[in-house]
Amino acid sequence: MRKIALLCILFLGVILPSEAHSKKPQPQVVRGNCGKRSCNEVLKTLRKTYPIYVQDFEKQCPRPKTLGLQVINDETRGQRALFNCWEAKKQKRTRYGDYLGSLPMPGSESKFLIPLPTSAYTQELQTKYLGQIKQAQFKCGTKSGAFNILEDKQNNTVQLQCYFTAGVVSLDENGDFASDGEASKGAFVDEILGTFSLKTN
């Protein structure tokens, strides 16, 4: 009986870990159009620089879907990578996917930030809350949004409202896993990215 028990322990200690190892999730499949660099290299760079944002995009695109990257140059917002999550199967000759957001490529970080609208509070916000404002500008940038400043006179505060388009459905018609247009333009939504107290007069 002792020999049988010993064999069982050895079996559990050797076989089961190898089985668990074989069931590890497969790495994210990345395809697209990233210019002179491979999209895997671009994703690696962005994952190192913006790990939380990239992790969120990847969670929204589980296998067997394909994570698509498309690097574009924008005079206003610099060079950035667009993230799409493509369906595993085509419908006729078209592949559909969900637009997830964007991130700046190295060197384009300052252009990527969404500017605040001109208001009586803009200068105070950028002076008093510089770090928080830049974080909000970056987050709104990942959504390709724009800002409203909402005033609450009763509480002497303002809110930073980022409004953007959600639910955009992209389409790929030539099989390169880069967007060729939109099957659905989505709808406008908003998110409050901070509430800030104002100086008392």
Q: What is the DSSP string of 156-171?
A: TEEEEEEEEEE--EEE
Phi, psi of 88 (to 5 degrees): -70, -35
| pLDDT for res 118 | 94
| pLDDT for res 186 | 93
Confidence of residue 147 (pLDDT cuts 50, 70, 90): very high
CA distances from 157 to 131, 132, 190, 199 (A): 18, 15, 19, 9
CA distances from 62 to 58, 59, 65 (A): 7, 6, 6
Q: Is the pLDDT of residue 112 over 80?
A: yes
User: What's the token pair of residue 19?
Assistant: 């089985």
Phi, psi of 40 (to 5 degrees): -65, -40
- Average pLDDT over the chain, rounded to an integer: 88
Q: Is the dihedral of CA 43, 46, 50, 51 positive or negative?
A: positive
Phi, psi of 25 (to 5 degrees): -60, 140
Which of 196, 194, 67, 34 is CA-nearest to residue 127?
196
What would the mean pLDDT of 164-178 be, rounded to a whole number?
Answer: 94
The three-state secondary structure class of 193 is: strand
- In this structure, of 27-36, 101-110, 121-130, 155-164, the range with the lowest mean pLDDT score is 27-36
